[in-house]
Amino acid sequence: MKKLFIVANWKSNKATFEAKNWLDEFKINDLEIENKEIVICPSFNLLSLVSSEIRNQKLEVKIGAQDISPFDEGAYTGEINGKQIEEFADYVIIGHSERRQYCKEDNETLNRKVVMAIKYNLLPIFCVQNQNTPVPPNVKIVAYEPVSAIGTGNPDTPDNAEQVARTIRAINKEIISVLYGGSVTSENINSFTKMPNIDGVLVGTSSLDSMEFLKIINNA
């Protein structure tokens, strides 16, 4: 049985009290989650809170950051570096299309981010927009997220996502897991995760509600 990644990308949402409420409602330990790796990716300011709540409530989930500095520690005002993230997280999302679009992140910057993630023992979840998006060396987990599907309620078809996932693997031999992202819900999750080349999902909007996210995990 393949291991499924179910990754919540909260994006730039939730103040501290909202994150705390979400975690209090998130009764993940009542679910059967064998072979499922659940990862929550909050904003940087919530990493410490989410990490201590997960420990206190003994929740079977991992933490991911949504971004990482392309620089190491030092005089880089406003940046959050790998060493700082490593204290709290196991994963880091790199190359999300929103960062490429709004923050003008280019391939060279993204390569440096991957190098920093690996230096600090963080597993990159590298987002690609199509099968031709370059993937830096040493990336093992890729998330295929077509821009037209993100936040639109208009997901890719499972057949097309499967075909893209297969092509991504054929082009990039190092990749072990390919996730799908873009308008995933508890209704459509299984149509993606049942595909042989899709190893999980990256969930934005539908992860903001803890009950819906529990349903997604249950239906995956």
**Which residues bind to ligand PGA, rule: CB under 6 A?**
9, 145, 150-151, 181-184, 202-206
- Of residues 66 and 111, the one with the C-beta less far from ligand PGA: 66
Report the candidate in 85, 36, 92 with the shortest Cα–Cα distance to residue 61.
Answer: 36
- Of residues 46 and 150, the one with the C-beta less far from ligand PGA: 150
Minimum gap (Å) between residue 124 Cβ and ligand PGA: 14
Instruction: For residue 132, count other CB atoms closer than 10 A to its CB.
Output: 10
Minimum gap (Å) between residue 206 Cβ and ligand PGA: 6
Minimum gap (Å) between residue 72 Cβ and ligand PGA: 27
Alpha carbon 204 to chain centroid, angstroms: 9
| Residue 145 designated active-site | yes
d(CA 215, CA 173): 33
| Residue 34 designated active-site | no
Considering 96, 98, 105, 162, which one is annotated as catalytic? Answer: 96
- Of residues 39 and 122, the one with the C-beta less far from ligand PGA: 39
Which residues neighbour 77 within 8 Å (Cβ) at sequence distance 6 or greater?
Answer: none
Residue 87 to residues 110, 166, 168: CA-CA distances in angstroms? 22, 34, 31
Catalytic annotation, residues: 96, 145
